[in-house]
């Protein structure tokens, strides 16, 4: 897991030596972010994690390492990426894109998580910007959509818990009823 200090430390631009770019947005935005990274961190090797469907779009791009990910391999990818330490993980933020790669930066050992928007503006994900993280992980474009999403999730979780409790109680009662001698 990312250290809590990841969200409290200031971002030091000059200390970045290794960069990991995650495709959590459409591939065209991810490639635009990659070109912006080359100007922000010249000479710094950029590794990229992309979905299997978008691997052909990387032809002709210059990355230190390209990791192609499928949904079925997500646990192995986390294990592989956790073996290395990155100074910055770059996350293009969009309400479209890959759902299963959105939470990946939070599972890695990283100093800084940089979030890029559609205009290629970036900022470090800091404790003061946790709301942006909620937008990113949920994939909701607006605050009202985020609130509706959270309400649905909490309601669904409550109903699922209630259903499981009732089912368990029913099974226990049936088992007791069958054990009682007539």
pLDDT digits over 161-173, tens only?
A: 999 999 999 999 9
* pLDDT tens by residue, 73-114: 888 888 888 888 888 888 888 767 666 677 787 788 787 888
Confidence grade of residue 120 (pLDDT, cut at 50, 70, 90):
confident
Backbone phi and psi for residue 68, each to the nearest 5 degrees, phi listed first: -90, 130
Confidence grade of residue 129 (pLDDT, cut at 50, 70, 90):
low
Predicted local distance difference test score (pLDDT) of residue 155: 93
Predicted local distance difference test score (pLDDT) of residue 182: 61
Token pair 């928007």 is at which residue? 117
Rounded-to-integer distance, Cα 91 and Cα 104, Å: 9
**CATH 3.20.20, domain 4-140, yes or no:** no
The neighbour count for residue 154, using CB atoms within 10 Å, is: 10
Predicted local distance difference test score (pLDDT) of residue 14: 74
pTM for this model (two decimals): 0.65
- The overall average pLDDT reported for the chain is 80
The residues spanned by each domain of the chain are: 4-140, 142-182
Predicted local distance difference test score (pLDDT) of residue 114: 85
* pLDDT tens by residue, 6-30: 555 566 667 788 889 988 888 888 8
Backbone phi and psi for residue 51, each to the nearest 5 degrees, phi listed first: -70, 155
Confidence grade of residue 5 (pLDDT, cut at 50, 70, 90):
low
Backbone phi and psi for residue 14, each to the nearest 5 degrees, phi listed first: -75, -15
Rounded-to-integer distance, Cα 113 and Cα 77, Å: 18
Report which of 50, 112, 116 is spatially closest to residue 87, judged by C-alpha positions: 112
């Amino acid at each position: 897991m990312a250290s809590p200090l990841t969200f409290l430390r200031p971002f030091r631009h000059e200390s970045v030596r290794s960069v990991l770019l995650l495709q959590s947005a459409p591939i065209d935005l991810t490639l635009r972010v990659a070109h912006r990274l080359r100007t922000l961190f010249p000479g710094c090797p950029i590794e990229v994690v992309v979905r299997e469907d978008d691997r052909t779009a990387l032809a002709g791009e210059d990355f230190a390492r390209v990791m192609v990910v499928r949904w079925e391999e997500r646990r192995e990818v986390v294990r592989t990426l956790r073996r290395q330490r990155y100074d910055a993980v770059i996350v293009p933020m969009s309400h479209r894109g890959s759902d299963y790669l959105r939470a990946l930066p939070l599972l890695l050992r990283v100093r800084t998580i940089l979030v890029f928007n559609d205009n290629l503006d970036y900022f470090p994900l800091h404790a003061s910007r946790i709301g942006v993280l909620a937008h990113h992980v949920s994939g909701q474009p607006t605050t009202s959509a985020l609130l509706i999403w959270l309400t649905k999730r909490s309601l669904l979780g409550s109903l699922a818990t209630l259903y499981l409790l009732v089912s368990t109680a029913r099974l226990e009662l049936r088992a007791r009823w069958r054990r009682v001698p007539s």
